[in-house]
A and B are shown apart, each in its own frame.
Chain A
Amino acid sequence: MERISLFCFAASYAVSLGLDGLAVWRGNPVFWSWPGAVSWLRGGAWLMAMAGLVAHSLYLWTWQPPLAWQFGGLLVLAWFLAVFAVYERSHPGRISWSMFLLPLVLGLVGVATLIGPPAPSDGRIPGLFSTGSLQFWNTLHGVLLLAASVVLSLAFIASLMFLIRARQLRYKLAPGRGLSLFTLEGLETMNKRLIAVAFPLLSIGMGLGAGLLFVHASKLDGLYDPRVLAAMGLWITFLVLFGLRYGARFRGSVMAWMTICAWIILVVCLLLPHTLPTGPRDASPSAGVLAP
Chain B
Amino acid sequence: MNLRMVGFSFRTTPIEIREKLAFGPESLRIALERANSELLCETVLLSTCNRVEFYLAGEDVPLPGPKEIAGFLGRIHSVNPVDLENHIYFYDGHAAVRHLFRVTGSLDSMVLGEGQIAAQAKQALESAREGGCVGPMLNALFQHARVVARRIRTETGIAQGHVSVSSLAVDFVREVFDHFADKTVAVIGAGKMGELTLKHLAELKPKRILVTNRSPEKARAIAAGCGGQAVPFEQLDDLLVRSDIVLSTTGANEPIVDQARWQRVRSQRRKGTMVVIDIAVPRDFEPSLHDGETMCLYNIDDLQKVREARIAERRRHIGAAESLVENEVAAFGADWSRRRNGPVIARLTRDFEAKRKVVVEQLMQKIAGRVASEDRATIEGAFRLLQNQFLHGPISALAEETSRPATGQHTLLDALRKLFRIHD
Tell whether A26 pairs with B177 under 8 Å between CB atoms, given A32-B316, A169-B296, A252-B293.
no
List the A residue with the shortest CB-CB distance to B296. Answer: A169
* A184 vs chain B, min Cβ distance (A): 5
Interface residues of A in 136-188 (CB under 8 A from B): 165-172, 174-176, 182-186, 188
Q: Which residues of A contact B207 (CB under 8 A)?
A: none
Q: Is A5 an interface residue (CB 8 A)?
A: no
For the complex, give the distance between the alpha carbons of A169 and B105 in Å. Answer: 32
A169-B176, A174-B309, A183-B178 as given contacts; A34 in contact with B270, CB under 8 Å: no
The reply to whether B175 and A183 contact each other, CB–CB distance below 8 Å, is yes
Cα A249 to Cα B179 with chains together (Å): 20
B178 touching A185, Cβ below 8 Å:
yes
Binds A, one of B83-91, B152-160, B380-388, B402-410: B152-160
Q: Are B292 and A167 in contact (CB under 8 A)?
A: yes
| Interface hit among B187-195, B254-262, B318-326 | B318-326
B177: chain A residues at CB < 8 Å are 183-185
Residue of B nearest to A167 (CB): B292
Number of interface residues of B (CB under 8 A): 36
- Known A-B contacts A35-B155, A175-B175, A185-B273; the reply to A170 vs B324 at CB < 8 A is no
A189 interface hit (Cβ, 8 Å)? yes
User: What size tier do the contact residues of chain A reach?
Assistant: 20 to 34
B142 at the A interface (CB under 8 A): no
- Residues in A1-55 with C-beta less than 8 Å from chain B: 26, 31-36, 39
Instruction: Return the contact of A183 from the options B160, B174, B270, B320 (Cβ within 8 A).
Output: B174
Give bound CA distance, A251 to B272, whole Å.
8
Interface assignment of B302: CB less than 8 Å from any CB of chain A: yes
Residue B233 lies at the interface, judged by CB distance under 8 Å to chain A: no
A182 near B178 with CB under 8 A, answer yes
Which B residues lie within 8 Å of A172 (CB)?
290, 292, 298, 302, 306
Q: A35-B320, A251-B294, A253-B293 are in contact. Are A174 and B151 (CB under 8 A)?
A: no
- Asked whether B336 is an interface residue with its Cβ less than 8 Å from the other chain, the reply is no
Q: B317 interface residue, CB < 8 Å from A?
A: yes
Q: Beyond the given A175-B172, A251-B294, could you list 8 further A-B residue pairs with CB under 8 A, ordered by the A residue number?
A: A26-B157, A31-B320, A35-B155, A35-B323, A35-B324, A169-B175, A182-B178, A185-B273
A-contacting residues of B (Cβ < 8 Å)? Answer: 151, 155-157, 160-161, 168, 171-172, 174-179, 270, 272-273, 290-294, 296, 298, 302, 306, 309-310, 316-317, 319-321, 323-324
